[in-house]
C-alpha cells in the first residue's frame, strides 16, 4: 500500500474507531493514524455508559441502606457528597482514557489530538493544518445529544451531568427514552427532587409494553413525578432557576433542566456530502453491510451510521471492518438479536421481539409471570419483577425475552445466548432451575398466559 501516509486513517477515538485501529495495526500490521478532537474513549467511556453506570451504583445506595435496616442492621444516617464522588469519577475516567490511549500506542497507531475532516477520498485535513493521505478512511465520530431549536433558556444534556460542580435540589428531565429514565432515577437516588416530562403515552418506546408499564410504575414509586402526554411549552431563565411552562399551561421552577430527547449522528462538518457520501434524514452516514459508503475508500462504523447505537455493536463493526479490509478475513457485524439493558431501578433487559412485534408477524404464545422477589418481599417492600417469553406458536422458538428485575442486565446477557442460538420453549423447560433465584422463573413457566393468532385446539 505504498504511496499513502497511512493504510488507514480513523476519524474518531470512541469504541468503534479504537477497536478498528487497534486490530488493523496490532493484528494485521497496517499503518494506522487516528484523530480525536476530544478525549479518547468517546461517548461510552467519557460521557456515556461508564460514568452513567457508576452513577447508577451510587444512586442505588439509599435503597440498599433502607433494605439493610429492614433486615435488622443499625445504620447511621447517611449523606451523599457529590464532590467526593465526582473526584473519584474523574480519576476513573482519566484512567480509562489513558488505557485506551495506551492500547492504541502499543498496537502502533499514531494518535493525532485534533479535529479531522475529509479533503478528498484519500486525504484527511487536521485542525492543525496538517494533511495526511490514506488508502482507507474510517468515520467513527459517534453521536451527540439532540436539542430542539429555540429553547429560550440554557439546558443540560447527558454530556454535562457528569461535569456538574454540585447537584441541583430540583431538576426536570425531559424525555422518555432510556437515557432520560436512567438519569431521572440516578438524580432521584442522589437526593434530587425530580420531575420527568414525556410527550408520548408511555416511556421507553420500542421496548415491550408490559415491561414499560412496570418500569414507569417503579419510577413513580421512587418519588419521581413522571408526567406522560406532557412537554415543555416555554423555558425562561430566572436567576439561578428556570421557569418551565408545560403544554397544559401549568408552571414550575427548577434548578436544572435536562434534555434527553434523543441523539443524532455526529456527521456535520466532516466534508462527507461534498465527496458524494450520502447521509440519511437524521444525518446518519449511509453504509452497506460491510460498513462501506458510496465512496469505496471511505467506511463508517458506530453511532454515526445510526444502525444499532450500542457500544458493543460499534466495537463489532470496527473489528469486522479491520478483519475484512486488512486481515483477509471478510465478515460482517451481526445486527440480529442484539440484547440491551436499561439501568433503571429495577433494570429492564430485552432481547428479540416484543409481544406486539411478534404477534404482528404470526401466531405466538406468551409466557409471563410477575412476582415479589424474595430479597425485598422479606422486608415488606412492594417491589415486583417480571419475566416474559415470546414464543412462536408453530416452531416453538423463543422470539423474545423480557426481564424487569434487579440485575436484569446481567440476566439478559445469558438469556440472549439461548435466544441467539434459536432455543425453543422446550429447551428452556428442559433446563433445571437454580433455586432460589429470580431467574429460575425463565425455566419454570409452563402455562400460556395469552396467545395471538393461535387456533384453539379441540
**Which residues does the annotation mark as catalytic?**
435
Q: How far apart are CA 206 and CA 42, in angstroms?
A: 25
Beta bridge partners of 350: 340, 402
Residue 266: HSE in the Cβ half-sphere, 13 Å Cα cutoff: 22
The number of beta carbons lying within 10 Å of the beta carbon of residue 87 is 11
CA nearest to 22, candidates 127, 148, 109:
109
Which H or E run includes 390? strand 385-392
Task: Compute CA distances 119 → 31, 124, 132, 284, 452, whole Å.
Answer: 20, 6, 10, 19, 55
Q: For the chain, what's the residue count? A: 458
Task: Compute CA distances 293 → 121, 142, 329, whole Å.
Answer: 11, 16, 20
Q: How far apart are CA 10 and CA 38, in angstroms?
A: 14
CA nearest to 177, candidates 141, 140, 143, 139:
143
Q: How far apart are CA 86 and CA 78, in angstroms?
A: 18
The answer to whether 200 and 229 are in contact (CB under 8 A) is yes
**CA angle, corner 115, sides to 113 and 118, nearest 5?**
130
Q: Which residues contact 111 (CB under 8 A, 6 or more apart)?
A: 13, 33, 34, 35, 36, 40, 101, 104, 105
The answer to whether 194 and 224 are in contact (CB under 8 A) is yes
Q: 3-state SS of the chain: helix, strand, coil percent to 5?
A: 35, 25, 40
Residue 180: HSE in the Cβ half-sphere, 13 Å Cα cutoff: 30
Amino acid at each position: 500500500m505504498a504511496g499513502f501516509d497511512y493504510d488507514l486513517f480513523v476519524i474518531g477515538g470512541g469504541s468503534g474507531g479504537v477497536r478498528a485501529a487497534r486490530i488493523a495495526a496490532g493484528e494485521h500490521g497496517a499503518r494506522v493514524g487516528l484523530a480525536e478532537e476530544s478525549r479518547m474513549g468517546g461517548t461510552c467511556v467519557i460521557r456515556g455508559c461508564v460514568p452513567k453506570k457508576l452513577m447508577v451504583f451510587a444512586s442505588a445506595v439509599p435503597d440498599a441502606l433502607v433494605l439493610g435496616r429492614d433486615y435488622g442492621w443499625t445504620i447511621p444516617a447517611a449523606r451523599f457528597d457529590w464532590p467526593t464522588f465526582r473526584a473519584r469519577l474523574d480519576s476513573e475516567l482519566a484512567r480509562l482514557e489513558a488505557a485506551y490511549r495506551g492500547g492504541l500506542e502499543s498496537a502502533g497507531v499514531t494518535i493525532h489530538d485534533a479535529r479531522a475532516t475529509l479533503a478528498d477520498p484519500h486525504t484527511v485535513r487536521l485542525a492543525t493544518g496538517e494533511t495526511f493521505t490514506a488508502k482507507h478512511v474510517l468515520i467513527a465520530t459517534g453521536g451527540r445529544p439532540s436539542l430542539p431549536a429555540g429553547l429560550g433558556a440554557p439546558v443540560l444534556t447527558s454530556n454535562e451531568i457528569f461535569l456538574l460542580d454540585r447537584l441541583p435540589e430540583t431538576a426536570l428531565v425531559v424525555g422518555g427514552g432510556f437515557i432520560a429514565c436512567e438519569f431521572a432515577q440516578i438524580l432521584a437516588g442522589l437526593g434530587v427532587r425530580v420531575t420527568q416530562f414525556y410527550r408520548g403515552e408511555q416511556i421507553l418506546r420500542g421496548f415491550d409494553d408490559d415491561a414499560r408499564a412496570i418500569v414507569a410504575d417503579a419510577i413513580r414509586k421512587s418519588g419521581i413525578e413522571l408526567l406522560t402526554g406532557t412537554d415543555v411549552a416555554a423555558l425562561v431563565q430566572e436567576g439561578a432557576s428556570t421557569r418551565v411552562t408545560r403544554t397544559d399551561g401549568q408552571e414550575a421552577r427548577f434548578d436544572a433542566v435536562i434534555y434527553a430527547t434523543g441523539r443524532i449522528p455526529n456527521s456535520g462538518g466532516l466534508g462527507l456530502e461534498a465527496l458524494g457520501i450520502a447521509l440519511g434524514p437524521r444525518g446518519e452516514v449511509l453504509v452497506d453491510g460491510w460498513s462501506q459508503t458510496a465512496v469505496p475508500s471511505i467506511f463508517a462504523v458506530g453511532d454515526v451510521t445510526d444502525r444499532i447505537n450500542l457500544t458493543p455493536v460499534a466495537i463489532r463493526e470496527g473489528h469486522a471492518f479491520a478483519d475484512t479490509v486488512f486481515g483477509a478475513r471478510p465478515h460482517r457485524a451481526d445486527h440480529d438479536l442484539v440484547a440491551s439493558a436499561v439501568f433503571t431501578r429495577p433494570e429492564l433487559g430485552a432481547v428479540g421481539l416484543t409481544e406486539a412485534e411478534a404477534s404482528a408477524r404470526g401466531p405466538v404464545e406468551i409466557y409471563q409471570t410477575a412476582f415479589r422477589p424474595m430479597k425485598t418481599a422479606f422486608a415488606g417492600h412492594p417491589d415486583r419483577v417480571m419475566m416474559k417469553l415470546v414464543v412462536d406458536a408453530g416452531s416453538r422458538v423463543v422470539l423474545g425475552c423480557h426481564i424487569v428485575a434487579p440485575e436484569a442486565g446481567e440476566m439478559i446477557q445469558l438469556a440472549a445466548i439461548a435466544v441467539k442460538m434459536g432455543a425453543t420453549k422446550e429447551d428452556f423447560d428442559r433446563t433445571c432451575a437454580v433455586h432460589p433465584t429470580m431467574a429460575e422463573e425463565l425455566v419454570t413457566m409452563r402455562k400460556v398466559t395469552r396467545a395471538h393468532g393461535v387456533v384453539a385446539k379441540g
